[in-house]
Structure 1
Amino acid sequence: MHYLMGVRIDESVLPYPDDELEATFARVGAVNDEMKAAGVWVFGGGLTPSDSATVVRRESGATTVTDGPFAETKEQLGGFYVIEVDDLDQALHWAEKCAEACRVPIEVRPFEGIA
């Protein structure tokens, strides 16, 4: 089963201090390598800040395009992983490792299906 693990960040406190940034990249790289070695890694990546987002809405036959994030909230999606594991318990195991490495919350959600 495929799971999305969303890296939740508070953009008001980023970026990490320089000394912490290098250590964070090292921890995240180690967890990424561990997931690849375990065969659960599908793909993942970091995202640019939410103010770089473009939102497309289609309502009543009209399309609107606006700048910025869809939701005004303190927490934003800063990156993500897609993993393939047998069940939620295994996904939560990897989410715990990612949360420790990134030092931010990780939201875990199963895919309904893969096209």
Structure 2
Amino acid sequence: MKYLGLAYYNPEKFAAMAPDDVQALVSQCPAMDDRMRATGKVLVAASLAETRDWVALRPRGGKPQISDGPYTEAKEVVGGLFIIEANDREEAIRLAAMHPAASIGEAGGWGVELIPMESFFG
């Protein structure tokens, strides 16, 4: 089964961190990402652009209404995503736990949401 992992962060908490702390945190990510990809179970992984560059589309009168920013207002925003192939829920959790946002970055409000996918085109 395929699972979508959404890696969240809190922009306010992240911005409040000292630059050296941010660098120390971010510098750990490539090795952790490599370890996760080395499982052969990662189908897609990506970091997302800053929310100031996002565009939201909502249906209004049968046409898309376009606005700036994330679709929802929240303290946390999605900063990255990944899709994994796992044999079961336990394996999916084990794989998602390898993602940096699941195990480090507490000061920046990091976290991962793991969602089973019902269909996948790729």
Q: Assess same fold via TM > 0.5.
A: yes
Cα 1:82–1:100 change in 2 (3 A) is: same
Matches within 5 A, 1:1-115: 1-15=1-15, 16-98=17-99, 99-103=102-106, 104-115=110-121
Aligned length: 115
What is the distance in 1 between the residues matched to 2:95 and 2:38? 13
Distance 1:17 1:43, change over 3 A: farther
Which stretch of the first structure deviates more once superposed, 95-104 or 44-53?
A: 95-104
More deviation, 33-42/22-31: 22-31
Q: Are the equivalent residues in 1 in contact too, given 2:52–2:68 (CA < 8 A)?
A: yes
SS for the counterpart of 2:98 is helix
Bigger mean CA deviation after superposition, 6-15 or 105-114: 6-15
Identical-pair percentage: 26
- Kept in 2, the 8 Å contact 1:2–1:111? The answer is yes
Aligned Cα RMSD in Å?
Answer: 1.8
SS state of the match for residue 65, structure 1?
A: strand
For structure 1, the residue ranges without an aligned partner over 5 or more in a row are none
Structure 1 residue matching 2:92: 3-state secondary structure: helix
TM-score by length of 2: 0.81
Query: Per-residue deviation at 1:66?
Result: 0.6
Tell me how far apart the structure 1 counterparts of residues 83 and 40 of structure 2 sit (CA, whole Å). Answer: 12
Deviation digits for residues 14-56 of structure 1, max 9, x if unmatched?
2453333333334322222122221111121111222321011
Poorly superposed stretches of 4+, deviation over 6 Å = none
Q: Mean alpha-carbon deviation: is it higher for 9-18 or for 76-85?
A: 9-18
